[in-house]
Amino acid sequence: MKDRKASLNLYSPCDWKAVERHLTRMAAKGWRLEYVGHACWHYRRAAPAAVHYAVTWLPGLSAYAPEPTVEEADLSELCAAAGWQKVCGWGNMMIYANDQPDPVPLITDERLRLQNLHAAMKKGSLLGMGVVFGGSAALALLLWPVWAISYRTAPDVTVLLAVCALGLPGVWLLSYWGWYRTARLAVEENRPCPVNRAAGWLELAWLAAALCLAGRYLYQEWFSDPRQFWYSLCFTAGLIGLGFLGDGVRRFLRENGSSKAGNIAAALVAALVCAVALVFALQLLFPA
């Protein structure tokens, strides 16, 4: 019987209630969250129990800073006084657990919840989506003739690329700012801060569109140039592997007290070395 397992993380930090419900259900099935890795939840087996989970955000928390930071330690000490024990972090989100039957809520100030969440999102998903949308829009303007030609030759691929690069990131940004305006009005009227479920669904749609785009490209390569198909497949698998390796290096260094600058430098060096090794391996497998 396995003592550990992993599952895809399909949740958005904006939908904290879904995260809390998911982790509570897993604990009831006998799986306790151990840590959040590269796009995955990692669990360890335990006795099934009624465990309450709650999340909060530390906007200044860095995924590369040594663990725990002073701010993180102070927060965990305050939470422990109310029975909430730190489980792990996910970016600048902190996850806590409490096995009491009716625990004191971790966050009672809805205005503070929204303030911390928004500050964390500005350094995370909001920044990332903004970079993707802005960079894609700039490239689309510069390479408009190329896009027009590609649309005539491969309209389905061009449309999928536009959806991935511009459509879904743009809709996500509009959806987020619409939610934030609604949430800010709610907390000003002393109502609970609403969750942003749309963000998670749009992120899943973005992932699905990207997978469809990759699948369509590989399908074309399979029939037009099988050698290029296998090259592209190995290259993609290598990039995914580099992502998991980089996350493992970052987490190992953070847990062992490496400084933020040292962790970032080591992650960059590891990524560079592995990227060179990947290119060298592909050249050996697919010589010109």
Question: Please, are residues 54 and 64 in contact by the beta-carbon 8 Å criterion?
Answer: no
pLDDT tens-digit series, residues 161-196? 778 788 888 889 999 999 999 999 999 999 999 998
User: Distance of CA 64 to CAs 59, 148, 151, 256, 263, Å?
Assistant: 14, 42, 42, 11, 6
Instruction: Give residue 21's pLDDT band: very low, low, confident or very high (50, 70, 90).
Output: very high
Tell me the per-residue pLDDT of 38-63, one tens digit each, with 9 for 90 and over. 778 999 999 999 999 999 998 877 77
Predicted local distance difference test score (pLDDT) of residue 151 = 63
Structure tokens at 63: 């995924």
Q: Is 83 helix (H, G, I), strand (E, B) or coil?
A: coil
Strand partners, 54: 96
Cα→Cα distances 191→240, 268, 288, Å: 42, 44, 64
pLDDT for 1 beyond 80: no
**Token pair recorded at residue 24:** 């509570």
| Phi, then psi, of 179 in degrees rounded to 5 | -65, -45
Q: Check residue 165 and report its DSSP letter.
A: I
Supply the pLDDT for residue 54.
Answer: 93
Answer for the pair 16, 195: CB distance below 8 angstroms, yes or no.
yes
CB 83 within 8 Å of CB 98 = yes
- In which band, very low, low, confident or very high, does the pLDDT at 138 lie, cut at 50, 70 and 90? confident
Which DSSP state fits 6?
E
Q: Which residue from 6, 12, 25, 8 is spatially nearest to 55, judged by alpha carbons?
A: 12
Question: Rounded CA gap, 229 and 147, in Å?
Answer: 23
pTM, full prediction: 0.80
Mean pLDDT of 204-209: 84
CA-CA distance, 204 to 42, in Å (whole number)?
Answer: 20
pLDDT digits (tens, 9 = 90+) for 75-103: 888 889 889 999 988 878 899 999 988 89
- Summarize pLDDT for 223-247 with one digit per residue, the tens: 888 888 888 888 888 877 877 777 7
Helical (H) or strand (E) element with 53: strand 52-57
Structure confidence at residue 250 (pLDDT): 77
Contact of 16 with 200, CB cutoff 8 Å: no
DSSP-assigned letters across all residues of 191-204: PPPPP-HHHHHHHH
Please say if the pLDDT value at position 257 is more than 80: no
Please count the helices (runs of H) and the strands (runs of E) in the chain: 10, 6
Give the mean pLDDT of the chain. Answer: 85
Q: What is the pLDDT of residue 154?
A: 67
Sequence-separated (6 or more) residues with CB below 8 Å from residue 216: 156, 157, 160
With beta carbons less than 8 A apart as the criterion, state whether 52 and 98 touch: yes
Supply the pLDDT for residue 113. Answer: 92
CA separation for the pair 43, 212 (Å, rounded): 30
The DSSP element (H or E) to which 87 belongs, if any, is: strand 85-90
